[in-house]
Amino acid sequence: MYQLGGFSIINAWTFFNKRYEFLWSNFNKTGQDLFSFKVLQHKVVAMSGEASRITFFNEKDLDFSQGYRLLMGGLGDIKVENEDAGPAMFNKRLLKIFRRDRLQHVMPTLLSDINKRMDAWGMEGKMNPFKNIYDIVIQLTVRIASCEELADDPRSVEKMSDLYWRLEKSATAVGLLLPWFPGTAKKDKKQASEGLYGLLSYYVDARRKAEVPSSDAIDELIADGADNAIIVEFVLNVIFAGVVNTGMICCWTLLYLSANKEWKGKAMAEVKSLLAAHTTMTSSEPMHQRLSRIPFSAWEDEMPVVESIIRETLRLVKNDTALRRNLADNLQVSGKTIDKGAFMAYNMADVHLNELFYSEPLKFDPDRFTAPREEDKRGNIAFLGWGAGRHPCTGMKFAKLEIKMILALVLSRYEYKLVDTSGKPPKQLPQPNRNDIHQARPMGEPCFLRYRKIVD
């Protein structure tokens, strides 16, 4: 297997700081489907191509959690080494809190949360979706993953959000590659980790002392016998996944629709159709209350246009690098050997932005998923937006619901358009920064949404 030359610290530094650029420049330079490099004392194998993809997502001895433990950082200080905190148990608990009946029950509260956040925007103005929409997603995720007392306390939610972003920003190349270095990142990581643990532990203790148990996630975990460390880690992992992925897709969906009037019109028509089918059109109720009367099954099954829009946004934006560790004996891929213990990295653009699968891959075109085109079925595992193989996204059901509810309320209540810092329409739609592994924020100048409320 081709091994990158040069200083290993430089390769590792670029991998952490400019991951997308590092991987694709080296794939292009070497002409290889696989190449290796070092991160600290560890070997990392970068993979591309169909054989790599099939192995990466289907091989049973590739460990998901160990891959991210070394190469992502972030929540390391508050992880606990316990079998009870492994991926299988995490997914089991996730499925429990994302039960259909539980989501149906909490939907009116979630829509009320969205409404309160949007009411704070006022009748018109200019907002940064990568702040305002993310705030909504954090609120919804805290609601579903913790307890009512925390979700109903705006100051605690805001504090949690601030600590979360502080922790996210502390995951720098310096902190990951030089953990002994006493820099600002190390200090911020420690303080944010301790702050998050303390904040959540306070609410866990409060729920333990409550006389009447509730159906909230923390209470269900307490009933399962989980200790504070397990509960805190679970809640933070749910929030981390929800904020990173759901927030990113919500923001970019609004941006893409602002630049595509045809698809924005189709999405608005679908929301109106849903309201007509399940609510009284002459109702004087606020829009969020009308939307709350739509059954969960309709949100799941009666929004094919929005489903395609979300899928296309995922294809264009979710091109991060999935990580694994090989725990098996030496693994053979395309005639090359991946040693036991090696880490593996697969960038999703290998398929999502590949013209062998998707025509005009940089174009926003949700029709590509519908018959007769069905471009996502052109090859083995050609769409990775919701996970694949042995690691499908356990939280997909809730993530889709969040995105659809936020979109429905924005499209039915506001007129909006994309503007630049000066308030003018940008010359072209911003492109996601594919090196931004957590948010894929737009490259270049900041962008905003100018909005005007037209319906209560």
Identify the CA nearest to 329 among candidates 60, 49, 65.
Answer: 60
Per-residue pLDDT for 145 more than 90?
Answer: yes
Check residue 175 and give its pLDDT.
66
34 within 8 A of 46, measured Cβ to Cβ? yes
Q: How many residues does the chain have?
A: 456
Q: Where does the pLDDT of residue 391 fall: very low under 50, low under 70, confident under 90, or very high at 90 and above? A: confident
185 within 8 A of 170, measured Cβ to Cβ? yes
In this structure, of 172-176, 189-193, 353-357, 439-443, the range with the lowest mean pLDDT score is 172-176
343 within 8 A of 377, measured Cβ to Cβ? no
Report the chain's mean pLDDT, rounded to a whole number. Answer: 91
Check residue 179 and give its pLDDT.
65
Return the CATH number at 429: 1.10.630.10
Determine the distance from the C-alpha atom of residue 44 to the mean position of all C-alpha atoms in its chain, rounded to a whole number.
24
135 within 8 A of 397, measured Cβ to Cβ? no
SS3 percent helix, strand, coil of the chain, rounded to 5, is 55, 10, 30
Check residue 70 and give its pLDDT.
63
pLDDT, greater one: 283 or 324: 324
141 within 8 A of 246, measured Cβ to Cβ? yes
Per residue in 203-220, pLDDT tens?
Answer: 999 999 999 999 999 999
Measured distance CA(133)–CA(438) in Å, rounded: 15
Per-residue pLDDT for 337 more than 90?
Answer: yes
Q: Where does the pLDDT of residue 134 fall: very low under 50, low under 70, confident under 90, or very high at 90 and above? A: very high
Measured distance CA(372)–CA(377) in Å, rounded: 11
pLDDT, greater one: 71 or 331: 331
Structure tokens at 56: 């990466």
Per residue in 341-384, pLDDT tens?
Answer: 999 999 999 999 999 999 999 999 999 999 999 999 999 999 99
Q: Where does the pLDDT of residue 71 fall: very low under 50, low under 70, confident under 90, or very high at 90 and above? A: low
Per-residue pLDDT for 80 more than 50?
Answer: no
Measured distance CA(271)–CA(140) in Å, rounded: 20
Check residue 126 and give its pLDDT.
97
Measured distance CA(230)–CA(222) in Å, rounded: 10
| Mean pLDDT within 90-117 | 94
pLDDT, greater one: 105 or 16: 105
Provide Rg for the chain, Cα atoms. Answer: 22
Check residue 16 and give its pLDDT.
87
Per-residue pLDDT for 122 more than 50?
Answer: yes
241 within 8 A of 438, measured Cβ to Cβ? no
Measured distance CA(347)–CA(322) in Å, rounded: 6
Which three-class secondary structure state does DSSP give residue 123? coil
Per-residue pLDDT for 182 more than 80?
Answer: no
Tell me the torsion sign for CA atoms 10, 13, 14, 19: positive
Check residue 86 and give its pLDDT.
67
Structure tokens at 352: 């999502």
Tell me the torsion sign for CA atoms 315, 321, 325, 331: positive
**What is the DSSP-derived secondary structure letter of residue 426?**
P
**What is the DSSP-derived secondary structure letter of residue 245?**
I
Per-residue pLDDT for 81 more than 50?
Answer: no
Check residue 181 and give its pLDDT.
67
Per-residue pLDDT for 83 more than 50?
Answer: no
| Mean pLDDT within 119-129 | 97
| Mean pLDDT within 291-300 | 97
| Mean pLDDT within 431-444 | 88
Per-residue pLDDT for 444 more than 90?
Answer: no
Percentage of the chain beyond pLDDT 90 is: 74
Check residue 78 and give its pLDDT.
37
Pairs from 204-211 (Cβ < 8 Å, separation ≥ 24) = 204/228, 204/231, 204/232, 206/147, 206/149, 207/147, 207/149
| Mean pLDDT within 161-173 | 83
Note down the domain range covering 207: 2-453
Structure tokens at 328: 């098996």
Number of domains, the chain: 1
Which residue type does 242 have?
A: G
Per-residue pLDDT for 5 more than 70?
Answer: yes
Which residues, 6 or more positions from 285, have their beta carbon under 8 angstroms from its beta carbon? none
Per residue in 84-102, pLDDT tens?
Answer: 456 788 889 999 999 999 9
Q: Among 5-19, 295-309, 314-328, which range has the highest average pLDDT?
A: 295-309
Which three-class secondary structure state does DSSP give residue 29? helix
Measured distance CA(17)–CA(347) in Å, rounded: 15
Determine the distance from the C-alpha atom of residue 345 to the mean position of all C-alpha atoms in its chain, rounded to a whole number.
18
Check residue 217 and give its pLDDT.
96
The response to whether 393 counts as a known ligand-binding position is yes
Per-residue pLDDT for 82 more than 70?
Answer: no
pTM exceeds 0.85 for this model: yes
